Chain A
Amino acid sequence: DTGVSQNPRHKITKRGQNVTFRCDPISEHNRLYWYRQTLGQGPEFLTYFQNEAQLEKSRLLSDRFSAERPKGSFSTLEIQRTEQGDSAMYLCASSSGLKPQHFGDGTRLSIL
């Protein structure tokens, strides 16, 4: 078990472009979370999946953001028409039951 895996590690793109990140959770974990972390702050919750169902979304998740977990395994987070304010570290975490969340290394997004 290699833990939670996120790709890519870094993404640099121009403002207005679309980007997609991938998260592969720990295989037996049915819960998957996305968080965003900006400089000097702790991670902030974006959205949550239980199996393939997206059960909760933060108000931080604007209409330009969409997340999927089509088969209840890996998940993708897409940002359309990126803006400067989207620059952040995007973290994925997974868990099952009442077990604590395990985090990936994150994807660092930089908007030029």
Chain B
Amino acid sequence: AQRVTQPEKLLSVFKGAPVELKCNYSYSGSPELFWYVQYSRQRLQLLLRHISRESIKGFTADLNKGETSFHLKKPFAQEEDSAMYYCALSSLVISSGSARQLTFGSGTQLTVLP
């Protein structure tokens, strides 16, 4: 069974401080990891995925297979980063019939204080 754990429901940091949102996963196959973000009154949207190795809005995340983690980091938080963040996992299987549905964590509500 696949599982995603986000241990912090709430996280507050001051503007300009570093922020790290934790995500741990369990999965028996080859996983693909994602971070989705939901700003107030907006739809869920993709922030980044591990295979892209991109930095979006200053956020980065590295897949650590040894620790089965995919923590989200930003060196200097901004007030506009305040949102709900979800870590998610899917299979990396490429076969055409594979659902590749997402398994989500329960989310971390990030508040960046002025």
**Which residues does A use to contact B, with CB under 8 Å?**
3, 31, 33, 35, 40-45, 48, 50, 55-56, 91, 93, 98, 100-106
Contact = CB atoms under 8 A, between A and B. Distances in A.
Contacts, number: 52
Nearest to B87: A42
Given A43-B104, A98-B94, A91 B44 contact: yes
DSSP class of B's interface residues: helix, strand, loop or mixed?
A: loop
DSSP class of A's interface residues: helix, strand, loop or mixed?
A: strand
A55 to B, nearest CB: 6
Contacts of B106: 40-42
Interface of B: 4, 9, 34, 36, 43-46, 49, 86, 88, 94, 96-97, 99-107
B101 A48 contact: yes
8 contacts: A43-B104, A45-B99, A45-B102, A50-B96, A55-B97, A93-B102, A103-B45, A104-B43
